[in-house]
Amino acid sequence: MPGRPVVHGEAEAYRRFIADEVFPLVAEHYRVDMNRKIFAGHSYGGLLGAHILLTEPTMFERYILSSPSLWYDDRVMLARERAYAAVHTDMRADVFLSIGSFETVNPSSANKRYHRNNDMVRDLRKFEAQLRSRRYPGLRIDSNVIDDEDHLTVYPSAITRGLMWALPAQPPLSAPMQ
């Protein structure tokens, strides 16, 4: 809002808003299956998804995290993942991680699509490795680096791949025999 200071770090308030206000409104007014909720977020939206995953993993059944800004606040989500692991033995969620191949630092390249400061590919791989190392029985992770994409161009491909992963095609129903 014009004239107001920018506020950062309100992920928990936003998670509660979704759980306490958005979900009940959607369930009341639309024909939806609230047992098949999918979170999809890119950049800061992917960071919010990581927060929800590490706070209340069953809030969504599937998480599509595209280029999550895991560098934010000195990589706080990596620390939160360690804190989650210290007190939990399972994480019931399906997680799809994706990022563009240019979302890394490559000082030897003149290509401006590479990041200058944040190696987001490295951060995503570390987050994935930490989650996998826990061997949570209820956690399924799929991850990919999408070639020839940067932070601004990767989202359409990431969301398409993520939705195809989250909502696999069902075989057509065969017509009844006459």
Evaluated on CA atoms 33, 51, 131, 95, the torsion sign reads positive
- Domain ranges for the chain, please list them: 31-166
3-class secondary-structure state, position 96: strand
Contacts with 21 (C-beta within 8 Å, 6 or more apart), sequence order: none
Q: What is the pLDDT of residues 118-143, one digit of tens each?
A: 899 999 999 999 999 999 999 999 99
Contact 21, 13 (CB under 8 A): no
Distance CA 86, CA 97 (A): 23
> What is the pTM assigned to this prediction?
0.90
Give the pair of three-digit tokens for residue 78: 């990596």
Give the CATH fold of the 31-166 domain.
Rossmann fold (3.40.50)
- Write the pLDDT tens digit of every residue in 29-58: 999 999 999 999 999 999 999 999 999 999
Q: Are 101 and 147 in contact (CB under 8 A)?
A: yes
In this predicted model, what pLDDT tens digit does every residue of 54-85 receive, in sequence order? 999 999 999 999 999 999 999 999 999 999 99
Both ends of the chain: CA-CA distance in Å?
Answer: 63
Using the structure block, give the residue that is written with the tokens 């059944």. Answer: 61
